Amino acid sequence: MTYRIQAALLGAALLGAMSAHPAAAETIKIGVILTYSGPMASLGDQIDKGLSLYVKEHEKDLPPGTTVEIVRRDDTGPNPETAKRLAQELITRDHVNFLTGVVWSPNALAIAPLTAEAKVPFIVSNAAAVTVPRLSPYVARVSFTLWEECLPLGQWAASKGGLKKVFIAVSDFAPGHEAAQAFTKGFKDAGGQIVDSVAFPLKDPDFVPFMQRVKDAKPDAVFVFVPSGKQATAVMKAYNDLGMKADGIKIIGPQDIVPDEELPSMGQEPLGVITAGTYSNAAQRPANKAYVAAWTREYGTKTMPGFMSVGGWDSMAAIFSAINATKGHVDGDKVMAVLEGWKNPQSPRGEIMIDPDTRDIVQHIYIRRVEKLGDRLANIEFVTLPMTKDPWKELNPPK
Amino acid sequence: MTSETAAPLAVEALVRGHRLRLVEIAPWLIGGLAYFLFPDYLALGAQILIGIIFSLSLDLILGYAGIVTLGQAAFFGAGAYTAGLLAAHGWGEPLSALVAAGAVAAILGLISGAIILRTRGLTLLMLTLMISFMLQEAANKAGSITGGADGLQGMAVWPVLGVFHFDLYGRTAYLYCLAVLFLAWLAARRIVHSPFGRSLTGIRENEARMHAIGSPVFGRRLVIYTIAAAFAGVAGALLAQTTQFVALEVLSFERSGAGLIMLIIGGVGRLYGPFIGVPLYMIAQDRFAQADPVYWDFWIGLLLILVVVFARGGVLGLADQLRRRLRRTR
């Protein structure tokens, strides 16, 4: 009998917890899942710094009485199972109103279906696999897709970049395959030829044997995608150690291979590397100058902001817009209604928008070259492809 | 001491170990109560229960039979992918998938065991490790089947017994895992107290003597290795079904290692070692990771060092020592 009463009480409490809508003048909880430990922790650090900075700078703009509480969780790297459990706990235990962060596509692919059941908006700060927003109507992405960057890069490389034969070397997981497919399509359609391809293991790769194969094939250039951070530096080191530059083999790829924050540890090797990307901290836009200034005020000049930090910053910008537009009544459906078609003309990377149909990001894609800027290296944008949508979603409409 | 007085004493000790003691109800009482007391923690709870089954499988081979392995995740992963692939390709019935996963893992255990159990010591250790590495790399390369590093997508697990849906809060998952753990415990308890279980302990303690009395050492080691593989496979299948996801991590060295660490914390060669060690480790990990998402690994490491230095034989070993000391002072 007492057991029944207890069970009934618990059931009622659970129902109450599930249906309780946070009213205005309340604390809005934002669950952040990032890689805070392990060999890839620098990526989580970038995004965390970006989103924390946004909260610090814009907390005063929230509706009166509303505050945000950030609940941080460490997924330790590309571990989809851990990430899924953390998301589940953030939803059921901490009752978060938003989920954000997530460096890794496998992790985002595991988390996304949960948000459909829980009706918790999930703002993806980085994970780039093309299918992520299709897995749940409560997912919106503010980062990029590899198709968005690599298809135009392929076209540019064959038509204007003067490259004829390219070797493809990418990390062996969804974004890597997507980068390879997109570049191949763009490059071949514009008359280029793909010589061969290799795939690096995602975790703890040794790049030298793979790059040796590239070197032996003597292509004009190697198209590389690795998941940014320290792996980017390691690829550049392998490229350097094997003397591939002297052999006339160029290196091209998406921005992940020359992230702004890693450039200082790459030496002079990346000079002249051409990439397609969404953000460079050397860009002269006023919004970016303000961002970099706020960053150095807060964190000093030891680590510089890279594109991942901007993903964190814009995630919070989207969440804050949703909180303000709903006056703190952050019901899942209302939030998604705000985010579909949401625009931020003041992003450090230029104007961005969330496509109302796909909930994926629309933004300028820049072709950039690594050049000397004063005493440091920087990604200098020289071609702008305005307001680019994810081409994969246009080539593969939902069934 | 003559054999006339020793024999009844030995018989009594054996029977005493076999008999169900009152304290053995405690884990199930706690497990049942936890369902009502911590409704927000059931997802973690289910993972702890799965961890206990996995650790129990290690205890059977390491603790009782003395087979040192670093590759038990191979069987865990084989079970997880079996259940996962079945559910992803239209057969989401959980109980039959559990049996299938156990069977696949057992077959794998039988085949690999028949080869590697002919070796001893470090060679055996390396071989177990290599088998799990090989399986993990195979699963990574067979991306079109397993999803590779992105994980297995699109699992659809049907309700348990056609009634209980796997819910977001982990209620079904928890009770389902608790029921399977209970069955696993019954089986393990039966095994370790049986003459077969006793002979395993004999092999662990003095293999030459077991050979001398005509015990089929290799056969017995192979049987327990196969049974433990089935246990690990069932644990893996439970993880796949309750999280509706399978990642390469199920085959990783980290999982084998963590299972071993949890067993050591609880107490190796004791039926209840996993029941103490797994909850202790996983709850500590959960608390540390929340309190300090950046440096939580450090605190876990500190805990492990303390256990190894001050609690040889694990928490249960420490409890025994304390009990003995109390008796002496009395």
Residue A89 placed within a domain: yes
Task: Give the residue numbers spanning the domain of A214.
Answer: 146-277+365-395
For position B90, what pLDDT does the model report?
Answer: 87
Task: Give B251's DSSP letter.
Answer: G
Confidence tier at A16 by pLDDT (50, 70, 90): very low
Question: Which are the contacts of B322, defined by CB distance < 8 A and separation ≥ 6?
Answer: none
Using 50, 70 and 90 to split pLDDT, how confident is the model at A20?
very low
pLDDT at residue A168 in the model: 96
User: How far from B278 is each of A236, B260, B314, CA to CA, in Å?
Assistant: 42, 10, 12
Q: Is the pLDDT of residue B193 over 50?
A: yes
Question: Does residue A176 fall inside a structural domain?
Answer: yes
pLDDT digits (tens, 9 = 90+) for A154-194: 999 999 999 999 999 999 998 999 999 999 999 999 999 99
What is the least distance, in Å, from the CA of A103 to any CA of chain B? 13
- For the cut 60, the answer to whether the pLDDT of residue B214 exceeds it is yes
Q: Chain B 218-237, CB below 8 Å of chain A: which residues?
A: none
Reported as a pLDDT band with limits 50, 70 and 90, residue B159 is: confident
pLDDT tens digits for range A343-388: 999 999 999 999 999 999 999 999 999 999 988 999 999 999 999 9
pLDDT at B1: 44
**Residue A18: pLDDT band with limits 50, 70, 90:** very low
* Predicted confidence (pLDDT) per residue in A238-288, tens digit: 999 999 989 999 999 999 999 999 999 898 889 999 999 999 999 999 999
Would the CB atoms of B250 and A81 count as touching at under 8 Å? yes
A118-132 mean pLDDT: 94
Same-domain check for residues A20 and A81: yes
- Indicate yes or no: CB of A172 within 8 angstroms of CB of B148: yes
pLDDT computed for residue B4 by the predictor: 54
Mean pLDDT computed over A60-74 = 92
CA angle (A221, A226, A228) in 5-degree steps: 115
Q: State the smallest CA–CA distance between residue B309 and chain A in angstroms.
A: 26
Say if A9 falls within a structural domain.
no
Q: Give mean pLDDT, residues B212-219.
A: 91
Instruction: Tell whether the model's pLDDT for residue A15 goes beyond 70.
Output: no
SS3 A30: strand
Least confident of A34-38, A202-206, B14-18, B189-193: B14-18
Model pLDDT, residue B263: 93
Would you state the pLDDT for residue A267?
Answer: 87
Q: Check pLDDT > 80 for residue A3.
A: no
Residue with tokens 């949890």: B262
Place of tokens 């309700």: B159
What distance in Å separates the CA atoms of residue A319 and residue A31, rounded to the nearest whole number? 12
Mean pLDDT of B148-173: 85
The whole-number pLDDT of residue A24 equals 44
Give the residue with greater pLDDT, A18 vs A302.
A302
Which residue of chain B comes nearest to A114, CA vs CA?
Answer: B168
Q: How confident is the model at residue A13 (pLDDT cuts 50, 70, 90)?
A: very low
Number of CB atoms found within 10 A of residue A94's CB: 15
Let me know: does A140 contact A121? Beta carbons within 8 Å.
Answer: yes
Q: Is residue A8 part of a domain?
A: no
In this prediction, residue B148 has a pLDDT band, given cuts at 50, 70 and 90, of confident
A372 and A258 in a common domain: yes
pLDDT over 60 at A11, yes or no: no
Given a cut of 50, is residue A14 above it in pLDDT? no
Q: Which range is least confidently modeled, A75-79, A356-360, B34-38, B141-145?
A: B141-145
Does A2 reside within a domain? no
Q: A83 with A135, same domain? A: yes
Which pLDDT score, from 0 to 100, does residue B170 have? 87
Write out chain B residues lying below 8 Å of A41, CB-based. 294
Mean pLDDT of B78-95: 92
User: pLDDT-based confidence at B232, cuts 50/70/90?
Assistant: very high
Contact B116, B74 (CB under 8 A): no
The pLDDT assigned to A5 comes to 52
Question: Which residues in chain B have Cβ-Cβ distances shorter than 8 Å to A70?
Answer: none
Domain assignment of residue A1, yes or no:
no
Spatial distance between the Cα atoms of A363 and A343, rounded to a whole number of angstroms: 10
User: Does A325 lie in the same domain as A188?
Assistant: no
Closest residue, chain B, to A40 (C-alpha): B294
Residue A19 has pLDDT above 80, yes or no: no
pLDDT tens digits, B88-134? 998 889 999 999 999 999 999 999 999 999 998 899 999 999 999 99
Per-residue pLDDT, averaged over B65-72, amounts to 91
Residue of higher predicted confidence among B162 and A153 = A153
CATH number at residue A335: 3.40.50.2300
Whether the per-residue pLDDT at A52 is higher than 50: the answer is: yes
Residues 105 to 164 of A: which have CB under 8 A from any B CB? 105-106, 109-110, 113-114, 117-118, 129
Query: Where residue B330 falls among pLDDT bands split at 50, 70, 90?
Result: low
Q: Which of A317-321, B4-8, B259-263 has the lowest mean pLDDT?
A: B4-8
Q: What is the pLDDT of residue B146?
A: 86
Helix (H) or strand (E) holding A393: helix A391-395
How many whole angstroms separate alpha carbon A354 and alpha carbon A342? 5
Domain match, A266 and A253 both: yes
CB-based contacts of A49, cutoff 8 Å, min separation 6 = A295, A298, A299, A303, A305, A309, A312
CB-CB under 8 Å, A81 with B40: no
The reply to whether A99 falls in a domain is yes
pLDDT at A22 over 50: no
Please indicate if any CB of chain B lies within 8 Å of the CB of A9.
Answer: no
Residues A233 and A378 in one domain: yes
Q: Name the residue with higher pLDDT: A136 or B303.
A: A136
Residue count (chain B): 330
Residue A392 has pLDDT above 50, yes or no: yes
Domain match, A201 and A102 both: no
For residue B224, pLDDT beyond 50:
yes
**Is B93 in CB contact (< 8 Å) with chain A?**
no
Q: Is B297 an interface residue toward A (CB < 8 Å)?
A: yes
Angle at B249 between CA B28 and CA B166, to 5 degrees: 45
DSSP tag of A365: E
Task: Kindly state the average pLDDT of the residues A206-233.
Answer: 94
| Distance of alpha carbon A77 from alpha carbon B152, whole angstroms | 17
Q: So where are chain B's domains?
A: 22-329
Q: In chain B, which among 68-87 make CB contacts under 8 A with chain A?
A: none
Co-location of A237 and A304 in the same domain:
no
Percent pLDDT > 70 in chain B is 97
Contact A274, A339 (CB under 8 A): no
| Residue A67 counted as domain residue | yes
A115 and A221 within one domain: no
Q: Which residues 194-213 on chain A approach chain B with CB closer than 8 angstroms?
A: 201-203
Higher-confidence residue of A21 and B274: namely: B274
Query: What is the number of other CB atoms lying within 10 angstroms of the CB of residue B37?
Result: 11
Over residues B177-197, the mean pLDDT reads 94
At residue B5 the predicted structure's pLDDT band, cuts being 50, 70 and 90, is low
Q: Is the pLDDT of residue A236 over 60?
A: yes
Number of domains forming the structure of chain A:
2
ipTM of the complex: 0.80
CB contact under 8 A, B294 and A91: no
Query: What rounded mean pLDDT belongs to chain B?
Result: 89
Fold for domain B22-329? ABC transporter involved in vitamin B12 uptake, BtuC (1.10.3470)
